[in-house]
Structure 1
């Protein structure tokens, strides 16, 4: 042992706790023939799951529930009038509208009608989603305390408004591991609306692993070129060469782990192995040459364009076919503070057909029954105008709409109601913690028992406050 290393505080701590780290790692991790690391079955799932995988269609920026899913004739009748102070009360509003002298009611820009056999109210801005309402459950009483984008999008994706917590996909990967050993358990795809507003930035911490082992963080696939950087070997390097290099590197890393007991070293080994296997798997998933013309008729011709939302939805189906555990699409551009009508319509054109196509495609292929699809953003929009009447809508977390489909969710269901101004919850509120509890339930996980010890606390995706599974949108809760 190098005596200089023993003299450092860092080395002392590393060696003092090395044995503990090694024991913890051994209890948490399992290796297959390739040396990859996955979560060990430690009593999970807690009960038979209704979903094997999740596809989360995240609409970054806050889609307007008022213009898409929450039909309120009162808004139309009172368009241009002052929102009654009793409705707004003393609730927090953002700095963008807190100084307004008037809060003028803005009616829906779309025309609503009851769609499908279920008679679900949906705006004509979503004609394709209207065709699959009997396969989805619309939740109109979502709510969050967050009123600004960064805390809002962090909260719904990680269970906390404070950055640094593990994302929902990382929790799923940690708890259930990966079925497809050639792809990460958690994959992320990004797209942006074609309207003028580029939307809020997206940060990698939204799919990070936080205090969970780092091999559970999401892997983002790129929209152009190789799906993952450095996917191809350098010229002159064969697969055999690369295999030998990784074997030698793994041997060196294991010697270092034996010396230090740092669990991240084993995680690094597993990530190198995953990258090696992805060199074959990822290009095959992104190659759409085997898709018939009917696929592009279903998803829209934008599905041929890498990086588009439609392309990412098609990629999500292809990954679902290959048993990727958690697939999350982030689509930017839903923050309509101005140019509401033009920009909201553009966002709907970008996403509506492909979102509905994904549900239809999964159902046709027999995958919807065990794939949970979630659609929605971090909050909704205000019933009143920001600035001039009809110009735009501010953020609104008191109530908003999301939908779920497949994976044990009842189709044709509408859950929760808001008041006549779509401003406050009237019945059956669903907090974002409840949404995460329900998602975990569909995966066979009891959110109260699913914990990770960190900083002396048993941490959970649903936090320490009360959270409930939304049983009314499920086909069966199976006694759990």
Structure 2
């Protein structure tokens, strides 16, 4: 009792109330955590997948020019779309003042590929070769119509900042499959600087979850993780001794104040120590055969490119990293889409197809979910109310395409249908929360049970929405 009083005396009022009122709960929780390793939670049912690689195309790729052809755009090119469909949802500030919103036909030809008969445009010659290995969802919908809230919504299930990203939820729910790398790794490549949207680190943040669940960004160049290297002349033994002393001080701090942030600090120091040997090995491509670079393209030799990051994603999957998030910017084509969209496709087409093929060849695709897509799609009508040759398309949240491969998703499935002008979903809508719920399900998690108590409320990735789309699954 005296020890408890002494401890409470050193705490502030909030900490003291928390410890004294919930002490028995902490003891019970501590016992549970001691028995459950490595995660505070476990899978709710038998999983079909172990990991996720999310190839996020920031800016909003034009589904109408890539995966969802609309012949009616050719027939009614230049006419106001709202002569044919009722406006649903708000327009962006670029278009809400235009009196006419003229339909713009795609200048790219489409063909059906594979036994699945999936439509793919001429812009994606490599992706067209793997369509029987992927599930094409043409009926995804979202709520926000502007970039930042839409990216936040796609990553966290909510349009306002402050909630955990999907990778953080998985790290919290399932824990780590390896000891030497983070559960959640982020890779960022760059597309066209003129069409880029800001990528805030909160997109891979932990929100109100403990800090150890935040995504760790690996950068291009000689130092993938900042401040990981020791000064010249310092041995690993010296580093271990120093770290032991730091950990002793942190342990004393935790015993005094029971601050969970201190536990996070200890675990992050230990992870950084282990990463000193694992990260250089990860980024050293000297063990990759020439066939790898024939598959991914020569750009895969250059750190920071999309192709390099796709190859890194495969190497991270081999090392049992739970969630790999790859961001590629430059898909925001309000103007002169014909000049910019082909460039983005050339940057990403071969490497995306290569990653899917590579994972399949190595037996990793069965338990790896690969997701390709952006925060929303693009409109069937012109950006500026005119029909120039150098047309652009505005943001479109009502319907767009996502590609999902592996992890128990049906290969070769074409799911969902949009109307003949690509404006609304007319069959099998898949809202973002449903997509999240389905991904969690394949990883063994019930989206309604994966919760975290914050500020008196239990939160989840899918908020109060979402259901598993079983038609997408084997």
TM tier, smaller: over 0.9
Matches within 5 A, 1:295-310: 295-310=292-307
Match of 1:14 in 2: 15
Is residue 468 of structure 1 aligned with residue 467 of structure 2?
yes
> 2:32 and 2:394 mapped to 1: Cα distance?
45
The answer to whether the 8 Å contact 1:79/1:107 transfers is yes
> 2:397 and 2:240 mapped to 1: Cα distance?
51
Match of 1:478 in 2: none
CA 1:97/1:47 → structure 2, altered by over 3 Å: closer, same or farther? same
Unaligned runs of 5+ in 1: 476-480
Matches within 5 A, 1:194-343: 195=192, 197-343=194-340
CA 1:86/1:442 → structure 2, altered by over 3 Å: closer, same or farther? same
CA 1:54/1:6 → structure 2, altered by over 3 Å: closer, same or farther? closer
Unaligned runs of 5+ in 2: none
Match of 1:393 in 2: 393
> 2:451 and 2:8 mapped to 1: Cα distance?
35
SS of corresponding position for 2:95: coil
The answer to whether the 8 Å contact 1:88/1:423 transfers is no
> 2:263 and 2:398 mapped to 1: Cα distance?
44
Task: Provide the aligned length of Structure 1 versus Structure 2.
Answer: 464
Matches within 5 A, 1:62-461: 62-89=60-87, 91-193=89-191, 195=192, 197-387=194-384, 388-389=386-387, 390-461=390-461
Q: Which runs of 4+ in 1 moved over 3 A?
A: 5-8, 18-25, 27-32
TM-superposed deviation, 1:18: 4.1
TM-superposed deviation, 1:31: 10
TM-superposed deviation, 1:7: 9.5
The answer to whether the 8 Å contact 1:17/1:261 transfers is no
TM-superposed deviation, 1:196: 5.2
> 2:368 and 2:330 mapped to 1: Cα distance?
26
The answer to whether the 8 Å contact 2:136/2:404 transfers is yes
TM-superposed deviation, 1:230: 1.7
TM-superposed deviation, 1:76: 1.8
SS of corresponding position for 2:239: helix
> 2:213 and 2:383 mapped to 1: Cα distance?
40
Q: Deviations over 1:165-222 (max 9, x none)?
A: 00000000001101111000000000111x3524100011011111111100100001
The answer to whether the 8 Å contact 2:195/2:333 transfers is no
The answer to whether the 8 Å contact 1:57/1:375 transfers is yes
TM-superposed deviation, 1:227: 0.8
SS of corresponding position for 1:84: helix
SS of corresponding position for 1:17: helix
SS of corresponding position for 2:178: coil
SS of corresponding position for 1:243: helix
CA 1:73/1:369 → structure 2, altered by over 3 Å: closer, same or farther? same
SS of corresponding position for 2:81: coil
Match of 1:59 in 2: 57
SS of corresponding position for 2:85: helix
SS of corresponding position for 1:132: helix
SS of corresponding position for 2:453: strand
Q: Deviations over 1:278-329 (max 9, x none)?
A: 0110110100011011111100111011000000000000000010000010
Q: Deviations over 1:55-99 (max 9, x none)?
A: 000011111111111111111222222213451425300001111
TM-score (norm 2): 0.94
Matches within 5 A, 1:45-56: 45-56=43-54
> 1:18 and 1:105 mapped to 2: Cα distance?
63
> 2:31 and 2:457 mapped to 1: Cα distance?
19
The answer to whether the 8 Å contact 1:18/1:260 transfers is no
> 2:61 and 2:341 mapped to 1: Cα distance?
8
> 1:23 and 1:339 mapped to 2: Cα distance?
62
TM-score (norm 1): 0.93
My pick for the range that moved more, 12-21 or 90-99, is 12-21
Q: CA RMSD in A?
A: 2.0
> 1:149 and 1:66 mapped to 2: Cα distance?
19
> 1:30 and 1:201 mapped to 2: Cα distance?
41
> 1:180 and 1:405 mapped to 2: Cα distance?
23
SS of corresponding position for 1:39: coil
